[in-house]
Every structure is written in C-alpha cells, then in structure tokens.
Structure 1
Amino acid sequence: MGRNVQHHQQVSSASVVEGMLNPRGRQMPNSTKITEAEMWRSRHGRLSAGAVVLETVGSLVGQGLYGRISTSHSNHILVGCWLLFGLLMGTAYRGSLISSLTLPTLPPRPETIEQLVTVVERATTDPYGNSHKSFLLKSDSPVFKALGELMYPAVNVTDGLRDALTMKRAHIHTRQYLQLMITRHYMQADGTVPLYIGKENIIFHTQAWPIPHDAPYKDALDRIITAVVEAGLYERWRKELLEKVTQVSRAKQQEAEQQTSDATAGEHNKSSSRSLTIAHVQGCLMLLLIGLMLAGMAFVMEITVERFTFSRERNSTG
C-alpha cells in the first residue's frame, strides 16, 4: 500500500509539471528534477516575465522572492522600481498619518487684499481711517475700491479684534501694534492665538517725530534715528517687547487654568485630544483587502489549473 501511494504521488506531480511545461502531451523522463525556479524559466535559461510579475505582486501579500532572480536587466529594473515605490509610498503614508494626527487642521484663510475683499463683510479701522478710506475709494484699482467700500472707521483695536474673532470681519492697523495687542489679549496657555495678521500690507506710510521748525538739532537727530534703524536696534527692541508680553500673557493663562477644577480640566483635555480612528488607517486596510483578494484569486486559479491538468493527464493516459 505504501508503494502504491508513493507511485501515485509521483504520477500526480509529474502530470502537473508535464501539463504546465508540455501542453502537447510529450513525455518527460522520470529522473528529471524540477524546482520551483526551473518551472518559470524560459528557453533562454532566464526567469520569464511572468515569474518576475509574480514576485513583485507577491510582495503585497507577504511572499518572499525566489532563490535566484532573473539575469535580465529589465526584470531587475522592474523589481527595483517596485521596491522603491513601496518604500516611498509607505514613508509618505506614514508621514501624512503622523502629521494629520499631530498638526492641527486649519481652514484656508485670506492673506492678500484680493482674498480679503471676497471673504470679509466689513473691515474696521481706527477713527483716523477716514483718510485711508477716501484714498482707497479714489484708487484706480478695483481691489482697493472694494476695500474702501468695506472699510468702516471709528472702531478701536479692542472692539475690532473682538469683532474679527466672532464675525466675518477684519481690523486694519499697523502690524507691530496688532501683534502686540493680539499677544497681550488673546495669547493662550500653549502659545497659540486665534487671530493672525495677513502677509500683505495695505498702505505704506512713514512715521516721524514732531520738532520745531528750523530746529538746530534736526540734522543730528536724523543721523541718530538713521543709525538706530539701520543697526537693527528698533527691531531688536520690538522683538524683546513682544517676547516679554508673550511670557506675561502665557503665565496669566496658565495661572487661570490652574485655578479651575480637576474635573473641568480633565474634560477639556479629553475633548481636545484626537484619537486614532478607522478613517486614518483606511488606506492601509484597503491595500490589505486588495492583497487578500488577489491572493485568494491566485489560490483558486492554482487549484483549478491543477485539477484540470490532472484530470486531462489521467484521461490521456487512460
């Protein structure tokens, strides 16, 4: 019985190999040893293109490569490009997933005058803004005219920033003063602010100190002011002042948060944290599902081809 089973197994394996390599039904010598790599070799002694494709596609389902790869340069290029593609896609997906979980998602915000006039409903400014409003309305640019129509003077900085935070409005003032007021009144404990300053300037103007007419110290004062500005002392003073205001504002906010109850702080931290959901990993799950489907299809095709070849070989020998 043991010899019959062994002979049957030899006939089955030989018939499968013969059906795959000799479709015309030619006999093969029983002493020939057929390996997995030799089954996919072409007549020139190289791995065929089908074997290389199976190697690349099989990497999706966790299958390794054959013991010997093809000596063709085109197949080397195909496998190398596939491995490089998988490395780049995996790195890019991992980086995008980490960034989406760590960095806050901010809505698009207007940075230029063209974007500002299409988004806001009103642009407030201080009482001296009447001259700026008339200047913009007389401009030949349609963008400046639209901004002049939206401009509403006689609003101080505190009210203007509050309206910009709660309504679709913007407040126009000097950049340094806006940075100082936003940092002083709206700085949070983590160092973030809910307001921002656009990148583009609207109106350029100079500032000067009033002195008496024909004052004898005018030239000396001009040289001193020019030296201070060109040496960067003004910018240094502005940065130090802004850093000091930032530290004071953050300290106040942290002290205010410490005075709250532990329950409120816990609920706030729980609501502000982001957890990993199915939407963040749906890409890798889809790739896994596609790989499993391809593997299942390949398995079914192998079983079908094996049974068909075995039955055809048995009918031909019978």
Structure 2
Amino acid sequence: MLVGWWLTFCLVISTGFRSSLISHLTVQGRSRVPENLGDLVQEEGWTWGTATWTYDGAVLEYFSKHTHHVLRKIHKNMQVLAVHEAMNKVLAGGFSFIMIKNYIMVAIASRYTDTYGQSSVYVSKEEFSVMSCYGWGVRTGAPFFNQFISLRSRLEDAGLIETWTDTIMEDRVRSNREKAKSDSDTQQLLIQRGNTLRRPTRIKLYS
C-alpha cells in the first residue's frame, strides 16, 4: 500500500527596493511593490524569474499547464537563472524572484541582511502553494500504520514540526554567516601575505 503525503512548497516573491536615511527617520508613503503574481504582470516594464533547479517537475507543471491568464503570462515571460544572478537582478531593481519560501528566506538572512537585521530585499507577504505528492511504501496491514499516522498528526498539531523547521533555518543561517566570515578572513590573510611577499628585500653580503 502506498501512503501519499501532500507537501506544500510555498513560493514567495522577492523584490529589491531602495531606501535612504531620511525614509527611515520620517513617516512617508512607500512605493508600491508587487505582492502577488497579478501585481507582477500589471507592473509596466517589470520582469521576473526563478531558479534553474526550481523550474522543473511540479513547479514547471503548475505554471505551464495552468489555465489562468495571469499564470500563463508568468510562465511565458519567466526567466530561468542561477540564484546569485537572480538576486543581483533583484538588487538592481525592476525584477522579482519567485522562489521557494524557506530556501530564499535562509539565503536573504545569510547573504543579504546586515548585522542589524536590515535588508534591501523585500519579500512578499502573500505566498502561493505548489503541491507535489511524496509517498511512503508501507506493507498492507502493517501493524504500525495507525500509530505512525497518529504520531505524525500529533507532531503537527503541537507545532513541533514548525518549531523544528524554524530551528533548522536559524542554524543554517548562523552556519552560512560563520563560513562567509571565515572565507573573508582567509582571503584577507592571503592578501596580506601576498603583500608581504611582494615587499622588496635587501640582502647584505658579508665577507
């Protein structure tokens, strides 16, 4: 017997925006940013894309076979890029990155957020789900089946799965930042050593 579980991949829209010190110190109206796919297609001159490894399988099927005119236009003009290329376009402006929520939140917190928690990347509050089915092969009449399903439901109802997910994401962000700092320190050390080796050395001969 095949037990199918529906897992939800939440996609969000990441958009770059510009800010200034005055805008942080005064109360002003914010420029409109896309919150959903409908906003993207209505923005004149706006472009969008997703990651190369994401636009496949269920995600590709969701957009390519959908009958809604908005999703058909999103699919028609979808740019497929590497993540770093897409994020560079986001920061440049006029481009939105459609990406799996948990993945992009970790990436933004790791690489595009300063020590004060401020980022130049805006993440839409609205999200949409793409469904894909995963199955666990279980023998017909397995004695643990009911207990297994019951335990899974209890973990979800208690909020433990959500808590564990948040903890894993926080740990990953911390690990990414530590690795980035270590790589930066190593690079700086190599530069310093290179400068030392390039310094002229005076040699005196004694007879």
| TM-score, normalising length: structure 1 | 0.40
Q: Are the counterparts in 2 of residues 187 and 249 from structure 1 also a CA contact under 8 Å?
A: no
What is the percent sequence identity of the aligned residues? 19
Aligned to 1:234: 161
Task: Describe the shift of the 1:117–1:133 C-alpha distance in structure 2 as closer, same or farther (beyond 3 A).
Answer: farther
Q: Indicate which of 101, 105, 108 corresponds to 2:25.
A: 101
- Amino acid corresponding to residue 148 of structure 1 in structure 2: H
**Cα drift, residue 192 of structure 1:** 0.9
1:114 aligns with 2:38: yes
SS for the counterpart of 1:107 is coil
**Cα drift, residue 171 of structure 1:** 2.3
Q: Indicate which of 136, 160, 167 corresponds to 1:211.
A: 136
**Cα drift, residue 213 of structure 1:** 4.8
Runs of at least 5 residues in structure 1 that lack an aligned partner in the other structure = 1-97, 257-318
Q: Indicate which of 86, 95, 98 corresponds to 1:160.
A: 86
SS for the counterpart of 1:173 is strand
Aligned to 2:151: 224
Q: Distance in 1 between matches of 2:52 and 2:136?
A: 25
Q: Distance in 2 between matches of 1:253 and 1:130?
A: 30
Q: Are the counterparts in 1 of residues 48 and 98 from structure 2 also a CA contact under 8 Å?
A: no
Runs of at least 5 residues in structure 2 that lack an aligned partner in the other structure = 1-21, 185-207
Q: Which has the higher helix share?
A: 1
Aligned to 1:193: 119
Task: Describe the shift of the 1:221–1:164 C-alpha distance in structure 2 as closer, same or farther (beyond 3 A).
Answer: farther
Aligned to 2:107: 181
The superposition leaves residues 106-149 of structure 1 with CA deviations (integer Å, 9 ceiling, x where unpaired) of 53211021112233313223434244344324333211111111
Higher relative contact order, chain-length normalized (CA < 8 Å, sep 6+) = 2
1:278-289 equivalences under 5 Å are none
SS for the counterpart of 1:111 is coil
The superposition leaves residues 175-209 of structure 1 with CA deviations (integer Å, 9 ceiling, x where unpaired) of 1222112111212122111213212223332564x
| TM-score, normalising length: structure 2 | 0.58
Aligned to 1:261: none
Task: Describe the shift of the 1:213–1:244 C-alpha distance in structure 2 as closer, same or farther (beyond 3 A).
Answer: closer
Q: Are the counterparts in 2 of residues 180 and 242 from structure 1 also a CA contact under 8 Å?
A: yes
Task: Describe the shift of the 1:135–1:253 C-alpha distance in structure 2 as closer, same or farther (beyond 3 A).
Answer: closer
- Which stretch of structure 1 is more off in the superposition, 210-219 or 140-149? 210-219
Q: Which has the higher strand share?
A: 2
Structure possessing the higher radius of gyration over alpha carbons: 1
**Cα drift, residue 233 of structure 1:** 0.7
